[in-house]
Chain A
Amino acid sequence: MLDYAWLVLAFPAAGALLNTFLGGSLGRRAVGWLASGAVALAFLASLGLFAQLMGLPGHERSVTVHLWDWIRVGTFQVPAALLVDPLSVTMALVVTGVGTLIHVYSVGYMAEEPRYQRYFVYLNFFVLAMLVLVLSDNFLGMYVGWEGVGLASYLLIGFWFDRRDASYGYYADAGKKAFLVNRVGDFGMALAIMILWTGLGSVTFLEVFAGVEKLAAGTLTLASLLLLLAATGKSAQIPLYVWLPDAMAGPTPVSALIHAATMVTAGIYMIARTYPLWEAAPAASAVAAWVGGLTALLAATMALVQVDLKKILAYSTISQLGYMMLGVGVGAYAFAIFHLITHAFFKALLFLAAGNVMHGLHGELDIRRMGNLRARMPQTARLFTVGALALAGFPLTSGFFSKDSILFAAFERSPALYGLGLFTALLTAFYSFRAVFLAFWGRERDPDLFARAHESPAIMRGPLWILAGLALAGGGLNLPRVLPLLEHWLEPAVGALEIHAGLGLEMTLMAVGGLVALAGIYLAHARYVQEAAWAQGLAQGLAPLRPLLERGWYVEDLYRAAVVEPLWALARFSAQVVDRGIIDGTVNLVGQLHLLASDGLRRLQNGLIPTYALSLFVGVVVAVLYFVFG
């Protein structure tokens, strides 16, 4: 009955193929609408799957749709099959839903782009790969999607590969950095898959989960940690987060879709998808929780001092992904997915609004040159503020509920992690509204730029209003205790979280979370709008930390010195000494020796009959000696 599930994949695939081969003759508008339509149809197909799953009793909401046998080599059997269950359908809805809005937005945003056709082909390809990732019923299929989204990300970060500026260097290099850093994580995933297959003889999720007890605890922990490594790459966590800020070199809708709403959440999805492994490997879960908590804090501190609007959002994304990682680490898979969804709404909204700012300011993204933009682009200002409210966790917005759910679950496991998350929430509210106040409030710092600023066309506002509505009301998906819709829905796929704390404690924590958000917003207001003396004094007091944060805690410098430079040195050694010197040298020496021998033989061939006869006669003598006396 779910046999049509393949359509979800077929639509974006068809869109990418049609635009590749016919896009040139279709005309620009048609290319954009074709791509958007393909994703919209995939969204409708996902809705169909959703509706049908809803019609099933809870324990039957897991359907494997077998497409064909993909690999059959001895005992290595991999089907090409889709796993349709609440988790995968939820992800498919987010990917295609947010994806549709961003495709539509791109039609306007990329209107002047010469490589328009290529852009939409890549974007459709990304959606296809992401859907393969979330819908596959086995590790190998997920790996294909995992690599596919990595490729799409690489292609789109470096979309303007011929551009170069002070912030990113060559844009192509930003793409390469993302790809290479992700390779480290991908390697972990490949190893994990091999370990699981070696131990269990299967790569199908359900078969692996059924056999988890058969694995030794050490093996399981190792496999989980390798999966965690993969997740830290794709979802930009410590230690592999460094590629995401550079990924902002890509077009802004790409940042919204791939590097905020969907692809970067693949690591979170993967852990939620494989939760039976993590339940059985508590040590690995604990590592994930701490990685998430520390990443959330570290990235938030770095977001405090960024002056590029998109980079603020990039560090914020890393930080929010940290929350999600913290969520799956403490076993609150449903809450992590909840935050994943709300984050997709409000972060896509923030990026697209930032895209409008960039569009209206002719490419300028430095918030120090902005100010009072609400006068020139009032709708964008309102949209961005809505997104910032949700990000800050302003009470009753979607971000408030999802973040507090994770913090509550963390409090149950470890007060230290809760403290980390709460402090991060304060920083989050502060840096979100720092951006809002600097960009849209106050006075215009660059009158010239201000004068030329303009609001964006309707096609670049409509999708944002939808996202804004979702960002405000998305909390309704899962009102804790009152109406935990999402928790119930996901329960067959990710299990239920056992909650021991009472209602009173939960309400208290929620109130604390709301107050912290308000405090952060107030601090930003005092510092950047009122410019109150005490706030300035506080800023003065913290100024010594500024260089540290601006350098990103010297992490990149450390990587450069400890990893990049030694590898370069090794590469240079291999290329110049080993390859050119030893290998080429040996080969050339062999060749030269042969040529020398050739010259020698040529000299013997002097054209004189006596010489030739002598050679023949030597042969005669040797032959006779051999045969007669040998």
Chain B
Amino acid sequence: MNLSFLYENIHVLLPEAILFLGALAVVGADLLRPKDGDGRGLGALALLTVVAGLVGTAYIWGRPPATYLGGASLDGFALGVRVVVLTAAFFAVLLSMGYAPRITWQTGEYYALLLLATAGMSLLGATTELALLFVALETFSLALYVLTGIYRRNPRSAEASLKYFLLGGFASGFFVYGAALLYGAGGTTDLALLGQRLAAGEANTSLLWAGMALLLVGFGFKLSLVPFHMWTPDVYQGAPTPITAFMSVGTKTAALAGFIRVLGTALPAQQATWGWALAVLAVLTMTVGNLAALRQMSLKRMLAYSSIAHAGYILVALVPGTAQGTAAALFYLFAYGLMNIGAFAVVVALERTAENDVDQGGFRGMATLYPALAAAMAVFMFSLAGIPPLAGFFGKFLVFKAAVEGGWTWLAVLGVLNSAISAYYYLRITVAIYFDQAQAVPARNAWAGLNLGIALAALGTVLVGIYPSLWIALFQGLGG
């Protein structure tokens, strides 16, 4: 039997292969590590794996388009998704290095699952086939369910894990049902082929629409679009903070990548129908996310609602169904990754480990105690609020520009109004940092990885804002 087809174009999945092997290596190293060790070496190994993944991505950068076994393809979009996902993973490992040993003795599992989740997310950007898409989705979801509950001494962590798992299973059920209906409609799981059959009128459209509706639910859950968002605050609050930071960016990027693949490859002709559904969802998501964030005391819950709102903004970019919109969404995710992970990193720095959270009072007068940390947090908050010249501003600018140019001006207007609402809760943090008297001296967590992560995120947020053209060009080149 000739198995050479297995190796043909295997470079298409090089980064995922590296991540997968890295996960195995972490598990192996975990077995060998001394019992009294703190697992610091495992963190370094995980970091190395992520960096190797980035190198692998760079290695296959710019190669001619190729597919692997008809299920995954090498194209600019897949590369762009990997950049964002691997960047998020890079920061997550940095944040975890001093964190994981405090909350669990299973650091090996922790890093292995983190790498597996990264591999799943990364794969989702490359896949062009419904079944593989589902596998990738479940790969990272299952890893995240476990990671959410890995802080076992903290009841909230366990509760979050269970909620996430149950609701995630519920949503996955709809997703797989939807995928099955699509298969029924077109007789194929290959998205491109499905698109061709739809165009040729060879598909069963009533099955198609039912399948589309259920797929939307599945993606909507992962993206935490309203009304599929209710798990988000509880899970974000309960999960260990570095994991929250990672999934707030990684899950969104991966799910959005899959969503864009399905809509852009299989259903581009139906944009008139799904465009409106996405527009309504975007408005609901932005509005509910921002409104609910206004009154949150817990910073992690506030950031959870904020991430819901940001999912709404990103969705705005998909509504017109243009390549420009796709590029804008990727740019937004990259900018969002830097500033949002940065904000969670500051939470990591300030939280009491036992509480696994920090409330708004924890920021009072922080500027006098930790001026550098305060400045970084201010940068993240201003950027999240979309204030120029930071990364978040250009993300919003591109997204709304794509909407306006696609003829969805009213949607952009609602987005801008929402952005104004969001300024309230972001700037409230900044005000507390700089204008309030310090109440008590919060002990600040610090380890090299954390400090490096915060510094890099802040630097990135500023640099992407100052030289947006560089990054815009990068993601526009990948958009197609």
The chain A residues found within 8 Å of chain B, CB to CB, are 591, 594-595, 597-599, 601-602, 605, 607, 609, 611-613, 615-616, 618-620, 623-624, 626-628, 630
Q: Taking the nearest CB of chain A, how far is it from the CB of B446, in angstroms?
A: 33
Tell me whether A626 and B213 are in contact (CB under 8 A). yes
Tell me whether B209 and A612 are in contact (CB under 8 A). no
Q: B231 contacts which chain A residues (CB < 8 A)?
A: 612
Tell me whether B227 and A618 are in contact (CB under 8 A). yes
B217 CB contact (under 8 Å) in A594, A607, A623, A628: A623
Chain B residues numbered 264-294 whose CB sits less than 8 Å from any CB in chain A: 273, 277, 288, 291-294
Q: Does B61 contact A (CB under 8 A)?
A: no
CA distance in complex: A630, B205 (Å): 13
B166 CB contact (under 8 Å) in A605, A609, A623, A630: A609
Could you name 13 residue pairs across A and B whose Cβ atoms are closer than 8 Å?
A594-B421, A598-B292, A598-B293, A602-B295, A607-B234, A609-B166, A612-B163, A615-B227, A616-B228, A616-B230, A620-B214, A624-B214, A627-B213
A615-B227, A627-B210 in contact; A602/B216 too (CB < 8 A)?
A: no
Q: Taking the nearest CB of chain B, how far is it from the CB of A198, in angstroms?
A: 37
Tell me whether B212 and A601 are in contact (CB under 8 A). no
Q: B221 contacts which chain A residues (CB < 8 A)?
A: 616
B163 CB contact (under 8 Å) in A609, A620, A624, A630: A609
Q: B288 contacts which chain A residues (CB < 8 A)?
A: 601
Q: Please encode chain B, from 221 to 233, with 1 for each CB lying within 8 Å of some chain A CB and 0 for all others.
A: 1000001101101
Tell me whether B206 and A591 are in contact (CB under 8 A). no
Q: A615 contacts which chain B residues (CB < 8 A)?
A: 227-228, 230
Q: B228 contacts which chain A residues (CB < 8 A)?
A: 615-616, 619
Q: Does B220 contact A (CB under 8 A)?
A: yes
A616 CB contact (under 8 Å) in B212, B227, B293: B227
Q: Which of A595, A597, A607, A618 has the most CB of B within 10 A?
A: A597
Q: A595 contacts which chain B residues (CB < 8 A)?
A: 294-295
CA distance in complex: A594, B163 (Å): 29
Q: A630 contacts which chain B residues (CB < 8 A)?
A: 273
Known: A612-B230, A624-B210. 20 other contacts (CB 8 A): A594-B421, A595-B294, A598-B291, A602-B295, A605-B292, A607-B234, A609-B166, A609-B167, A612-B163, A613-B166, A616-B217, A616-B221, A620-B214, A620-B217, A623-B217, A627-B209, A627-B277, A628-B206, A628-B209, A628-B210
Q: B277 contacts which chain A residues (CB < 8 A)?
A: 623, 626-627
CA distance in complex: A630, B206 (Å): 11
Residue of A nearest to B225 (CB): A619
Q: A597 contacts which chain B residues (CB < 8 A)?
A: 291
CA distance in complex: A624, B273 (Å): 13
CA distance in complex: A267, B166 (Å): 85
Q: B292 contacts which chain A residues (CB < 8 A)?
A: 598, 601-602, 605
Tell me whether B167 and A612 are in contact (CB under 8 A). yes
The chain B residues found within 8 Å of chain A, CB to CB, are 163, 166-167, 170-171, 174, 206, 209-210, 212-214, 216-217, 220-221, 227-228, 230-231, 233-234, 273, 277, 288, 291-296, 421, 424
What's the dominant secondary structure at chain A's contact region?
helix
CA distance in complex: A628, B294 (Å): 36
Tell me whether B273 and A627 are in contact (CB under 8 A). yes
Residue of A nearest to B230 (CB): A612
Residue of B nearest to A590 (CB): B421
Q: Which of B212, B213, B292 has the most CB of A within 10 A?
A: B213
Tell me whether A601 and B209 are in contact (CB under 8 A). no
CA distance in complex: A96, B227 (Å): 79
Q: B296 contacts which chain A residues (CB < 8 A)?
A: 602
Q: Which of A595, A597, A615, A619 has the most CB of B within 10 A?
A: A619
A627-B213, A628-B206 in contact; A594/B291 too (CB < 8 A)?
A: yes
Q: B295 contacts which chain A residues (CB < 8 A)?
A: 595, 598-599, 602
CA distance in complex: A612, B221 (Å): 11
Q: B163 contacts which chain A residues (CB < 8 A)?
A: 609, 612
Q: Taking the nearest CB of chain B, how far is it from the CB of A596, in angstroms?
A: 9
Residue of B nearest to A618 (CB): B227
Q: Taking the nearest CB of chain A, how far is it from the CB of B19, in angstroms?
A: 31
Tell me whether A613 and B214 are in contact (CB under 8 A). no
Q: Taking the nearest CB of chain B, how far is it from the CB of A609, in angstroms?
A: 6
Q: B217 contacts which chain A residues (CB < 8 A)?
A: 616, 619-620, 623
A616-B171, A616-B221 in contact; A598/B206 too (CB < 8 A)?
A: no
Tell me whether B294 and A620 are in contact (CB under 8 A). no
Q: Taking the nearest CB of chain A, how far is it from the CB of B255, in angstroms?
A: 15
Q: B170 contacts which chain A residues (CB < 8 A)?
A: 613, 616
Q: Taking the nearest CB of chain B, how far is it from the CB of A604, in angstroms?
A: 8
CA distance in complex: A178, B479 (Å): 64
Q: Taking the nearest CB of chain B, how far is it from the CB of A115, in angstroms?
A: 33
Q: Which of B212, B288, B291 has the most CB of A within 10 A?
A: B291
Q: B214 contacts which chain A residues (CB < 8 A)?
A: 620, 623-624
CA distance in complex: A89, B170 (Å): 92
Residue of A nearest to B159 (CB): A607
CA distance in complex: A601, B290 (Å): 11
A594-B421, A597-B291, A627-B277 in contact; A605/B233 too (CB < 8 A)?
A: yes
Q: B209 contacts which chain A residues (CB < 8 A)?
A: 627-628
Q: B291 contacts which chain A residues (CB < 8 A)?
A: 594, 597-598, 601
CA distance in complex: A605, B170 (Å): 18
Q: Which of A620, A626, A630 has the most CB of B within 10 A?
A: A620
Q: B233 contacts which chain A residues (CB < 8 A)?
A: 605
A623 CB contact (under 8 Å) in B213, B230, B234, B421: B213
Q: Taking the nearest CB of chain A, how far is it from the CB of B145, in angstroms?
A: 14
Residue of A nearest to B288 (CB): A601
Q: B293 contacts which chain A residues (CB < 8 A)?
A: 598
A598 CB contact (under 8 Å) in B174, B210, B273, B294: B294
CA distance in complex: A620, B231 (Å): 16
Tell me whether B294 and A619 are in contact (CB under 8 A). no
Q: Which 3 A-B residue pairings sit nearest by Cβ, starting from the closest?
A: A612-B230, A598-B294, A627-B213
Tell me whether B424 and A591 are in contact (CB under 8 A). yes
Residue of B nearest to A620 (CB): B217
Residue of A nearest to B174 (CB): A620
Q: Which of A598, A624, A628 has the most CB of B within 10 A?
A: A598
CA distance in complex: A599, B294 (Å): 9
Q: B294 contacts which chain A residues (CB < 8 A)?
A: 594-595, 598
CA distance in complex: A612, B166 (Å): 10
Q: A618 contacts which chain B residues (CB < 8 A)?
A: 227
Residue of B nearest to A606 (CB): B230
Q: Taking the nearest CB of chain B, how far is it from the CB of A625, in angstroms?
A: 8
CA distance in complex: A208, B473 (Å): 53
CA distance in complex: A595, B293 (Å): 10
Tell me whether A613 and B167 are in contact (CB under 8 A). yes
Q: A628 contacts which chain B residues (CB < 8 A)?
A: 206, 209-210, 213
Q: B206 contacts which chain A residues (CB < 8 A)?
A: 628
Tell me whether A616 and B167 are in contact (CB under 8 A). yes
CA distance in complex: A628, B211 (Å): 9
Residue of B nearest to A599 (CB): B295
CA distance in complex: A216, B479 (Å): 63
Q: Which of B170, B234, B293, B294 has the most CB of A within 10 A?
A: B294
Q: Taking the nearest CB of chain A, how far is it from the CB of B397, in angstroms?
A: 24
Q: A619 contacts which chain B residues (CB < 8 A)?
A: 217, 220, 227-228
Q: A611 contacts which chain B residues (CB < 8 A)?
A: 230
CA distance in complex: A616, B163 (Å): 13
CA distance in complex: A609, B234 (Å): 10
Residue of A nearest to B425 (CB): A598
CA distance in complex: A584, B196 (Å): 58
Q: Which of A609, A627, A628 has the most CB of B within 10 A?
A: A627
Q: B220 contacts which chain A residues (CB < 8 A)?
A: 619
Q: A601 contacts which chain B residues (CB < 8 A)?
A: 288, 291-292
Q: Taking the nearest CB of chain B, how far is it from the CB of A461, in angstroms?
A: 57
CA distance in complex: A601, B309 (Å): 14
Q: A598 contacts which chain B residues (CB < 8 A)?
A: 291-295
Residue of A nearest to B210 (CB): A628
CA distance in complex: A607, B237 (Å): 12
CA distance in complex: A599, B291 (Å): 9
Residue of B nearest to A602 (CB): B295
